[in-house]
Amino acid sequence: MVSAVAAYLPLFLVTVNLIPVTPIVEERPFPAADEIISLVQGKSRKRVFLVPHTQESDPISEAYAYCNTPNRTEQAWEGHSPADYKLLSVQVMIRHGDRYPLYYIPKTKRPAIDCTLSTDKEPSHPLLASFIRHMGQGSRGHWESPLASVARLPNHSACEMGELTQTGVVQHLRNGQLLRQAYRHHSFLSPDWLPREVWVETTGRSRTLQSGLALLYGFSPDYDWTKLTVHHQWSTLFCGSACDCPARNRYLEEEQRRQYRLRVADVELERNYADMARTLGVATRLLRAANPIDSLQCYFCHGLAFPCVLRGEDGAGGCLTKAQFAVIRRQQLEDEVDRRKVGLYHKYAVLAMHPYLNRTAAKMEKVAKASVAGRARSEEVFSLSSAHDVTVAPLLSALGLEDSKFPRFAARVVFELWRSPSEEPRKQPGKAEKVLDREMFIRVLYNGEDVTFHTTFCRTHDRHSRQPLCPLKNFLSFVRRDMFRSMDATSYQEACSRHSG
- CB 446, CB 404: distance < 8 Å: yes
**Residue 204 phi, psi dihedral angles, 5° rounding:** -85, 5
What distance in Å separates the CA atoms of residue 86 and residue 188, rounded to the nearest whole number?
8
Q: What is the pLDDT of residue 500?
A: 52
User: Which range among 112-121, 162-171, 322-331, 374-383 shows the weakest confidence by mean pLDDT?
Assistant: 374-383
Q: What is the pLDDT of residue 6?
A: 40
Q: What is the pLDDT of residue 376?
A: 74
- CB 98, CB 301: distance < 8 Å: yes
**Residue 195 phi, psi dihedral angles, 5° rounding:** -55, -35
Closest by CA to 393, choosing from 34, 21, 97, 7, is: 21
Strand 229-232 relative to strand 142-143: parallel, antiparallel, unpaired? parallel
Confidence of residue 467 (pLDDT cuts 50, 70, 90): confident
Confidence of residue 9 (pLDDT cuts 50, 70, 90): very low
Q: pLDDT for 147-160, tens place per residue?
A: 999 999 999 999 99
Secondary-structure breakdown of the chain: helix, strand, coil percentages, each rounded to the nearest 5 = 45, 10, 45
* Known catalytic residue at 114: no
Q: What is the pLDDT of residue 434?
A: 77
What distance in Å separates the CA atoms of residue 208 and residue 128, rounded to the nearest whole number?
18
Average pLDDT over residues 153-173: 98
- CB 169, CB 131: distance < 8 Å: yes
| Residues recorded for the chain | 501
Confidence of residue 312 (pLDDT cuts 50, 70, 90): confident
**What is the torsional sign of CA 389, 394, 395, 397?**
positive
Peptide bond into 146 cis (omega under 30): yes
Q: pLDDT for 54-71, tens place per residue?
A: 446 799 999 999 999 998
Average pLDDT over residues 257-264: 96
Confidence of residue 114 (pLDDT cuts 50, 70, 90): very high
Q: What is the pLDDT of residue 33?
A: 28
Provide the mean pLDDT of the chain: 87
Q: What is the pLDDT of residue 429?
A: 52
First-residue to last-residue Cα distance in the chain: 29
Judge whether residue 425 has pLDDT over 80.
no
Closest by CA to 18, choosing from 300, 373, 419, 348, is: 300
Judge whether residue 23 has pLDDT over 70.
no
Choosing from 53, 58, 80, 96, the catalytic residue is 96
Average pLDDT over residues 368-396: 93
Report DSSP letters for 356-416, one per residue.
Answer: HHHHHHHHHHHHHHHHHHT--S-S--EEEEEE-HHHHHHHHHHTT-TTSPP--TT-EEEEE
- CB 408, CB 117: distance < 8 Å: no
Q: What is the pLDDT of residue 468?
A: 86
Judge whether residue 295 has pLDDT over 50.
yes
Q: Which residues contact 371 (CB under 8 A, 6 or more apart)?
A: 86, 88, 419
Compute, in degrees rounded to 10, the torsion defined by CA atoms 377, 380, 384, 385.
180
296 versus 500: which is more confidently predicted?
Answer: 296
- CB 230, CB 200: distance < 8 Å: yes
Task: Look up the pTM and report it.
Answer: 0.88
What distance in Å separates the CA atoms of residue 245 and residue 179, rounded to the nearest whole number?
35
What distance in Å separates the CA atoms of residue 463 and residue 66, rounded to the nearest whole number?
30
What distance in Å separates the CA atoms of residue 460 and residue 468, rounded to the nearest whole number?
12
* Known catalytic residue at 186: no
Judge whether residue 289 has pLDDT over 80.
yes
Average pLDDT over residues 284-289: 94
Alpha helices in 242-343 (DSSP H): 246-264, 267-280, 284-289, 292-301, 322-342
Average pLDDT over residues 261-267: 96
Judge whether residue 5 has pLDDT over 50.
no
Count of CB atoms situated within 10 Å of the CB of 99? 29
Q: What is the pLDDT of residue 424?
A: 54
**Residue 199 phi, psi dihedral angles, 5° rounding:** -125, 125
What distance in Å separates the CA atoms of residue 446 and residue 77, rounded to the nearest whole number?
9
Choosing from 335, 389, 403, 450, the catalytic residue is 389
